[in-house]
Amino acid sequence: MSKPVKANKRWIWQLILLASPLLAILISLSAGSLDLSWRELFAILLQGPGTDIEQVIIWQIRFPRALLAGLVGAALSLSGVTFQAVLRNPLADPYLLGVSGGAALGAVTALTCGFQSPIVIPLAAFVGALTALLLVYLVAQAHTCSTHTLILSGVMVGSLAAALLLFLLWRAPADATRQAIFWLAGNLSLADPDWLSWGWLWVGIGFLLLWSQSLNLDLLTQGEETAADLGLQVGSTRLILFVLAGALTACAVALAGLVGFVGLVIPHICRHLWGPGHRLLLPFSALLGSSFLIIADAIARSLYAPAEIPVGVVTAILGAPFFLYLLRRKGGDL
Amino acid sequence: MIQINNLSFSFAASEIFNGLNFNVTRGEILSIIGPNGCGKSTLLRLLRGSLKAQAGEILWENIPVGQIPAREMACKVAVVPQSSAISFPYKVRDLVAMGRYPHRKNLLSFQDKADLQAIEQALVMTDILPLAERPVTQLSGGELQRVLLARALAQNGSVLFLDEATSHLDIDHRIELTELLIRLNQEQQTTIVQISHDLDLAAAISQRILMLTEHGNIAAIGSPEKVMTAANLQRVFRVDVKVDSNPFTGAPQIVPLINNSTHQLNGLKIHLICGGGSGKNLLRRLHLAKAVVTAGPLNRGDSDESVATVLNIPVAQELPFSPFAEDTLVVTEKLIEKTGVLVITTQWWGAGNLPCLDLAERAIQQGTPVYLLAQQQDQDYTDGKAWGRIQQLQQRGAKAIRNEEHLLDALSNLTTSI
């Protein structure tokens, strides 16, 4: 009788997960320097947007902020799932292929050149991330573009970017350095709210395209040769997936800096809960990833309110112990 | 069905194939054998187009392999890989379902009736239905191999490539899978090309065998009887084996001569009087210890005689089930005259082989050492005549030896003292 119980449990988990972003948004709305009881919060929500100070805070500050966190969490989880499958490596994360280094280099270059605008920095990060990805792919493609070459060239491009970054920081004025570090640790307060809808559009399209590749992702987890034997055009499919995951990561990094851990840990948890089939894994990872980051951001905003700690710190402190717990229970067989 | 013309292929600096020519006929089972590293797996990859040859052509029904799209190819040929490291815990059923990939109309379509049926059938045929809901990461090597075969079966191709697909299987599943392959071949005319290290099994099921040398040349191609000869095996694998035919199926069967002997009888000449299976183990052991062995008299068809023939041991032969005639005894005596040592195994004594003891007596007279291996009074069916002779031999200097181990000890002492 153990099986049906398990199946039941799975359904309950799935329902909880479907509802989790809503719950997370509610928690996020209630968190911050302005203390609101749940009753007050619901009252304001029912009133809708308005000019009251509370209405403004909830609808124009906290709500977009929660949506931004959700967007970044979803993008990172989706690209984590993709990279782990394409590279067949459970340790792969969205930043493995030099994306983080490239984005950081772009953003910090912009910062040290004196640009403070919330428009320029995300753009610079985005361009940096895509440049790094392109470089990695070109290097790897000169050879057979195997997963090993991809990972190695990713690590190399990443370290090159890191070295240049350190050089820039060493030369930069103290003020810019402090801001850069804040950005590097992952931060949701820097993005311009105008970017939000564009970001959601970007991630939405990215998700749909990725989702259409679910079966191909399943096949790629079996290795290039097997995938090809089963009729998959490995080269072009991998390029498509690589570009999609890279674009999602670049978007997340541009909006929120380097938020660590979400892209590594969320895919693992989801695979543990729903198995490795990508038709379910992709949407569920997106949901869980956004919920996780929304809550992490709420914690980041409220712990030292009105000051904020970088959200990357919170994700790692929440995520690492949970990951270790899973690892201990399942013995590495995640 | 598949034509390979003048195929050449090399990896970076090392040349694997140079001008390979052969073909695969529709509906046959072709086994590829050859030493490690001779390019068997590479050849299978070239055949299905996952590697590109530098020169020559591979034609599938006259279409060059490079012009067949991957998906169409996957509908034609299914591959069972050597083994693959599985790191994602897909359920067995889901992994098998991946075999239906080339048949999907588009990426969004779900499994239709034909898919489900093919998957179910593949699960049943490979005996993994009970494992269907288990994650593949929890399976044993043999179970995983059956899952990979099931995935290939779900592909429903008319050609099956197996790269040592039975290597991780225990004997019952190995036999079962072999039978399954034969059934697929016979009932659905599936063409099977397999790489095998189990030469006996390859010989038993294949219509043709392709034997490659370590430099990737064709050493032989053709029927198992033609290809599996001691000379070919010696040339290609550099092993000393004997090829016998399987007593039940008639297929060529390899008898490896594994030297587990701790004794070295370098060139010591030994004649063995045996019969009825009493000498076959000793014949083998003496051969492995590098003694120069002769035997007889033996009736043709006696199991000792078969072993001696396989080992190329000269035998004084008698017609089946006949008492030893004078001529045969003379031949035997000539063999004994040339030998250094005479050994008489533990055998049943009757009127037929009683004259052998006379031969032993003459050997003693000529100064040849004679060893009597564990003679038993209750195996004497000559009313005590044989037993009396044996006692007599012992008095004249024949040595009674308790078992084969002691005999080999005594013989190696003899060698060193010479």
Which of A230, A278, A279 to mutate against chain B (most B CBs within 10 Å)? A230
Tell me the mean pLDDT in the region A12-38: 81
Return d(Cα B364, Cα A36) in angstroms, integer. Answer: 117
Å from B189 to nearest chain A CA?
Answer: 21
Query: What's the predicted TM-score (pTM) here?
Result: 0.76
| Residue B26 sits at the chain A interface (C-beta within 8 Å) | no
Q: Identify the band that residue A1 occupies on the pLDDT scale cut at 50, 70 and 90.
A: very low
Q: For residues B265 and A1, which has the higher predicted lDDT (pLDDT)?
A: B265
Closest chain B residue by Cα to residue A221: B88
- Cβ within 8 Å, pair B81-A225: yes
Tell me the range of A37-51, A118-132, B211-225 where mean pLDDT is highest: B211-225
Tell me the mean pLDDT in the region A40-56: 81
Whether domain B269-417 has CATH 3.20.20.80 = no
- Cβ within 8 Å, pair B90-A276: yes
| Residue A324 sits at the chain B interface (C-beta within 8 Å) | no
Å from B94 to nearest chain A CA?
Answer: 8
- Cβ within 8 Å, pair A215-B50: no
Q: A34 with A55: CB under 8 angstroms?
A: no
| Residue B76 sits at the chain A interface (C-beta within 8 Å) | no
Whether domain B2-249 has CATH 3.40.50.300 = yes
Q: A258 with A98: CB under 8 angstroms?
A: no
The structure tokens listed for B230 are 């001691």
- Check residue A214 and give left, alpha or beta (phi > 0: left; psi -120 to 50: alpha): alpha
Q: Identify the band that residue A308 occupies on the pLDDT scale cut at 50, 70 and 90.
A: confident
Residue B370: pLDDT above 90? yes
Q: B137 with B89: CB under 8 angstroms?
A: yes
- Cβ within 8 Å, pair B87-A218: no
Closest chain B residue by Cα to residue A218: B98
Contacts of A214 (CB under 8 A, 6+ apart): A277, A278, A279, A281, A282, B107
Q: B65 with B58: CB under 8 angstroms?
A: yes
Q: For residues A6 and A17, which has the higher predicted lDDT (pLDDT)?
A: A17
How confident is the model over B92-124, as pLDDT tens digits? 999 999 999 998 877 666 778 889 999 999 999
Residue numbers in A near B72 (CB within 8 A) = 231
Q: A162 with A132: CB under 8 angstroms?
A: no
Residue A333: pLDDT above 80? no
Q: For residues A171 and A283, which has the higher predicted lDDT (pLDDT)?
A: A283
Residue numbers in B near A230 (CB within 8 A) = 74, 98-99, 101-102, 155
Contacts of A263 (CB under 8 A, 6+ apart): A76, A77, A79, A80, A83, A93, A94, A95, A249, A289
The type of residue at B378 is D
Q: Which of A223, A230, A333 sits opposite B99 (nearest CB)?
A: A230
Tell me the mean pLDDT in the region B196-223: 90
Return d(Cα B418, Cα B271) in angstroms, integer. Answer: 18
Write down the pLDDT at residue B418. 55
Write down the pLDDT at residue B139. 87
Contacts of A147 (CB under 8 A, 6+ apart): A86, A87, A88, A89, A224
Residue numbers in A near B86 (CB within 8 A) = 222
| Residue B107 sits at the chain A interface (C-beta within 8 Å) | yes
How confident is the model over A140-161, as pLDDT tens digits? 776 666 777 888 888 889 899 9
B208: burial class by Cβ within 10 Å (0-12, 13-18, 19+)?
Answer: middle
| Residue B66 sits at the chain A interface (C-beta within 8 Å) | no
- Cβ within 8 Å, pair B74-A223: no
| Residue A50 sits at the chain B interface (C-beta within 8 Å) | no
Write down the pLDDT at residue B297. 92
Write down the pLDDT at residue A143. 62
The type of residue at B225 is E
Write down the pLDDT at residue A5. 42
Residue B371, strand partner residues: B343, B399
Which of B50, B83, B101 to mutate against chain A (most A CBs within 10 Å)? B101
Write down the pLDDT at residue B77. 94
How confident is the model over A247-261, as pLDDT tens digits? 898 888 888 888 888
Question: What one-character DSSP code corresponds to residue B289?
Answer: T
The distance in angstroms from the start CA to the end CA of chain A is 25
**Residue percentage of chain B with pLDDT more than 90:** 40
Tell me the mean pLDDT in the region A249-275: 86
For chain B, the domains span 2-249, 269-417
Q: Identify the band that residue B191 occupies on the pLDDT scale cut at 50, 70 and 90.
A: very high
| Residue B224 sits at the chain A interface (C-beta within 8 Å) | no
- Cβ within 8 Å, pair A230-B90: no
A37: burial class by Cβ within 10 Å (0-12, 13-18, 19+)?
Answer: exposed
Q: Identify the band that residue A4 occupies on the pLDDT scale cut at 50, 70 and 90.
A: very low
- Cβ within 8 Å, pair B107-A216: yes
Residue B258: pLDDT above 80? no
Residue B259: pLDDT above 70? no
Residue B136: pLDDT above 80? yes
Return d(Cα A20, Cα A26) in angstroms, integer. Answer: 10
Contacts of A104 (CB under 8 A, 6+ apart): A125, A128, A161, A162, A165, A183, A184, A253, A258
Residue A131: pLDDT above 70? yes
Nearest to A93 by CA among A113, A103, A78, A108: A78
| Residue A273 sits at the chain B interface (C-beta within 8 Å) | no
Nearest to B319 by CA among B349, B295, B298: B298
Return d(Cα A330, Cα A78) in angstroms, integer. Answer: 23
- Check residue B86 and give left, alpha or beta (phi > 0: left; psi -120 to 50: alpha): beta
Tell me the mean pLDDT in the region B115-143: 89
Residue B277: pLDDT above 80? yes
Q: Which of residues 73 through 102 in chain A touch B, CB cutoff 8 A?
A: 85, 88, 90
Residue numbers in A near B50 (CB within 8 A) = 225, 228-229
Å from B87 to nearest chain A CA?
Answer: 8
In the predicted model, what is the mean pLDDT of chain B?
88
Write down the pLDDT at residue A260. 83
Q: Which of A219, A277, A333 sits opposite B101 (nearest CB)?
A: A219
- Helix boundaries (H) for chain A: 2-30, 38-47, 53-55, 63-86, 99-112, 120-142, 147-171, 174-184, 195-212, 214-220, 224-229, 234-256, 262-274, 278-302, 311-330
How confident is the model over A57-87, as pLDDT tens digits? 888 888 888 999 999 999 999 999 999 998 8
Write down the pLDDT at residue A331. 57
Write down the pLDDT at residue B84. 67
Residue A334: pLDDT above 70? no
Å from A151 to nearest chain B CA?
Answer: 17
**Count of C-beta atoms within a 10 Å radius of residue A13:** 13
- Helix boundaries (H) for B311-384: 326-338, 355-365
- Helix boundaries (H) for B170-229: 171-187, 199-205, 224-227
Q: For residues B65 and A113, which has the higher predicted lDDT (pLDDT)?
A: B65
Q: Which of B50, B98, B107 sits opposite A228 (nearest CB)?
A: B50
Strands B241-245 and B252-256, sheet pairing = antiparallel
Which of B88, B106, B193 to mutate against chain A (most A CBs within 10 Å)? B88
The structure tokens listed for A327 are 């690892």
Three-state SS annotation for A221-263: CCCHHHHHHCCCCHHHHHHHHHHHHHHHHHHHHHHHCCCCCHH
Closest chain B residue by Cα to residue A215: B107
Residue A332: pLDDT above 60? no
Return d(Cα A257, Cα A182) in angstroms, integer. Answer: 9
| Residue B231 sits at the chain A interface (C-beta within 8 Å) | no
Tell me the mean pLDDT in the region A11-38: 81
Which domains, and CATH codes, for chain A?
67-330 (1.10.3470.10)
Question: What one-character DSSP code corresponds to residue B324?
Answer: P
Nearest to B392 by CA among B413, B366, B364: B364
Write down the pLDDT at residue B261. 65
Return d(Cα A180, Cα A132) in angstroms, integer. Answer: 19
Write down the pLDDT at residue B264. 79
Topology agreement, domain B2-249 and domain B269-417: yes
Tell me: cis bond preceding B297? Omega within 30 of 0 counts. yes
Tell me the range of A270-279, B138-147, B151-160 where mean pLDDT is highest: B151-160
